[in-house]
Structure 1
Amino acid sequence: MDEVKQIVTDIRNGNLKPIYFLMGEEPYYIDKISDYIEDNVLAEEKKGFNQMVLYGRDISVDDIVSNAKRFPMMAERQVVIVKEAQDLARQIEKLAAYAENPQPSTVLVLNYKYKKIDKRKALYKSIKKTGVVYESKKLYDNQVADWIRRVLSGQNYSITPKAAQMLVEFLGTDLSKISNELDKLKIILPKGTEISAEQIEENIGISKDYNNFELRKAIGERNTLKAFQIVNYFADNPKDNPMVMTVSLLFSFFSQLLQFHGLSDKNPRNVASALKINPYFVNEYTVAARNFPMRKVSAIVETLRDFDVKSKGVGANAIPQGDLLKELLVKIFN
């Protein structure tokens, strides 16, 4: 995120590079940088003749070079943006010769999503000398809630830990989807608002009471009644609550709980650091550890491995996922 801010700041200050190669598994920041260049480098009246958007599936590297070598018309520079440049993966190294000596009046932007170029080869080395190579790495599940908080803080909003966790569990690690949902909230909520679980439920449609976050908590507390209520809700709404996601999140929780049991220092700060969780959730692990000793946790982890396979249809094709989840809860609580 800091690297993105620096790239945007440099562009805003007029410190433009002739090539921006934006690559990696997470498309969100690739789009952010590319869109910023598209919207801000040229004045609106200059864009008609001096800004073009190309698509990798429709062109070759030779086409890119040909367009990049053009001189701008009645302007200081031109902008050439190549979207879906990953479709040129087989020939992208041919761009190395241009990258060695790029046209100084052209800003060439390549959006190379979900892939990255070989850093040992000539193209990467050439662009590093003359331009910018940005690699957008996918965030891990345990990093996304912090990302949500940082993004909202920069826009004068905040969010409760539970609300952030609800977004992560419902939307996964897709930053673009999460950003779109946050944008909807910002339309209706004034700046300075702390976004709550209730507001997430009302405006995005994620239940604050019947979700994987609450299921995990109920299991940790050995609250069988609440756990089965949540699972029954999942069984009635399978599209919004796929079993494979539930099993994955429970596997992560009990794996962390196993790690918790092995910690010699169970100070909340040390637990949060070791388990890579928000300190807000440490008490849940403390409670769950009292209810599930290490030997039982190890058995549950093995059970979850078995149900992970079943949730994907192996050996349980004819069994409704709701029934599988109920069977899983019985095994966890026994």
Structure 2
Amino acid sequence: MTAQDILKDLKSRKFKPVYLLHGEEPYFIDVVSNYVEHNILPDAEKGFNQSVFYGKDTDIMTVLGAAKRYPMMADYQVVLVKEAQDMKWGKEDDDKKGINPLLSYLDNPLPSTILVFCYKYGKFDKRKKAYKAIDKNGLIFESAALYDNKLPAWIKGYVTSKSYKIAPQASAMLAEYLGNDLSKIANELDKLMLNIAAGQEISLKEIQDNIGISKEYNVFELQTALARKDVFKANQIINYFDANQKANPIVVVLANLNTFFTKILQVHYLKDKSQNGIARELGINPFFAKDYEAAARSFDYGKTMNIISLLRECDLRSKGVDGGAPHGELMKEMLFKILH
């Protein structure tokens, strides 16, 4: 099931007694847990029938104690465990009598309790008996991280769900600029949509005006300048980054350039190096394919490999390894070595 499938069931009041939400992408886990916390019970019932625990501050016995209670003057009670990856779960063979309290509950969960474990930033061990018990008597949702080439489509879907539209170039730029942090993307889009009329299409201009991307001096323009070996423009942009480091932190610049040159390396392996071929094989928007095509002509295979090594070296130095230096100086030195 997807997060939207789970939300659909929750809105229809189709509940499972136990949910395990786990995986590397926290966004979808937060979407489901937020709905559970704020919408399952009316406010008048939450005081007696809703318990919210945080993994590092609780243990499994405390959670089970809450889960075994019956709701007071209500049909259900909600027990929500956030950051469950930090919880003291106990060992499955802890009980001397051979009866583990957790497994005992999961094998026969209370129908009037909605117990939700939010296990973020990693997968729950599928070999554990607890996993198998939840799978049998409840619902398990794995929140997988989105691949970079899936981000523009996800952005389009998110915007559409809010009754807005977004231009393909705008969704591609947003994905490239913000990376695959879905919570950050959703937050930026929500703020952006407050500033434009309902139903309006979000264009490159709205992205540039509202999400702090300079129209002329951003990492995408830098990539274009590098692809064309436009030394003057590339230096203008790096100088702008140096003067505005808060809006253009070196970690973001390096991450985007590393992705850019890694894709250029992939282009060198392609049989079809046309813009359509590049877009299809790399899973990128055709809007950006021309830059990769130009860059592959400007930087041969050997030079591309050297640049990727250079970016990694620059990243280490920016963190104080091997003779750190001011970030502005590192970016300028990096640019010189890429272009010469």
Is the pair's TM-score, using the shorter chain for normalization, greater than 0.5?
yes
Asked if the contact 1:25–1:137 (Cα under 8 Å) also holds between the matched residues in 2, the reply is yes
Tell me how far 1:312 sits from its aligned partner. 2.8
Which stretches in structure 1 are left out of the alignment for 5+ residues?
Answer: none
Letter in structure 1 aligned against 2:16: K
Partner of 2:320: 313
Tell me how far 1:51 sits from its aligned partner. 2.1
Asked if the contact 1:84–1:111 (Cα under 8 Å) also holds between the matched residues in 2, the reply is yes
Aligned residues: 332
Asked if the contact 2:103–2:129 (Cα under 8 Å) also holds between the matched residues in 1, the reply is yes
> Aligned partners of 2:273 and 2:46: how far apart in 1?
59
For residues 288-307 of structure 1, the C-alpha deviation after alignment (integer angstroms, 9 at most, x for no partner) is 22323334333333333433
Partner of 1:328: 334
Partner of 1:36: 35
CA 56–294 in structure 1, closer or farther in 2 if over 3 Å, else same: closer
User: Does 2:147 match 1:148?
Assistant: no
Letter in structure 2 aligned against 1:190: A
Letter in structure 2 aligned against 1:106: T
> Aligned partners of 1:210 and 1:92: how far apart in 2?
55
Partner of 2:47: 48
Tell me how far 1:70 sits from its aligned partner. 1.2
3-state SS of 1:109 partner: strand
Q: TM-score, normalised to structure 2's length? A: 0.89
Structure 1 consecutive aligned stretches of length 4 or more whose deviation exceeds 4 Å = none
Tell me how far 1:219 sits from its aligned partner. 0.6
What are the equivalent positions in structure 2 for 1:1-334 lying under 5 Å apart?
Answer: 3-91=2-90, 95-317=102-324, 319-334=325-340
3-state SS of 2:125 partner: coil
> Aligned partners of 1:46 and 1:244: how far apart in 2?
46
> Aligned partners of 1:36 and 1:136: how far apart in 2?
16
Percent of matched pairs sharing the same residue: 48
Which moves more between the two structures, 157-166 or 131-140? 157-166
CA 237–92 in structure 1, closer or farther in 2 if over 3 Å, else same: farther
Tell me how far 1:165 sits from its aligned partner. 4.5
Asked if the contact 1:165–1:213 (Cα under 8 Å) also holds between the matched residues in 2, the reply is no
Letter in structure 2 aligned against 1:331: K
> Aligned partners of 1:220 and 1:55: how far apart in 2?
48
CA 115–95 in structure 1, closer or farther in 2 if over 3 Å, else same: farther
Tell me how far 1:20 sits from its aligned partner. 1.0
Q: TM-score, normalised to structure 1's length? A: 0.90
3-state SS of 1:188 partner: coil
Letter in structure 1 aligned against 2:299: F
> Aligned partners of 2:142 and 2:250: how far apart in 1?
33
> Aligned partners of 2:254 and 2:42: how far apart in 1?
51
Letter in structure 2 aligned against 1:133: I
Tell me how far 1:162 sits from its aligned partner. 4.4
3-state SS of 1:47 partner: helix
Indicate the RMSD between aligned Cα atoms, in angstroms.
Answer: 2.3
3-state SS of 1:79 partner: strand
> Aligned partners of 2:30 and 2:309: how far apart in 1?
41
Tell me how far 1:173 sits from its aligned partner. 2.7
> Aligned partners of 2:40 and 2:311: how far apart in 1?
52
Which moves more between the two structures, 22-31 or 119-128? 22-31
Letter in structure 1 aligned against 2:82: K
Which moves more between the two structures, 170-179 or 207-216? 170-179
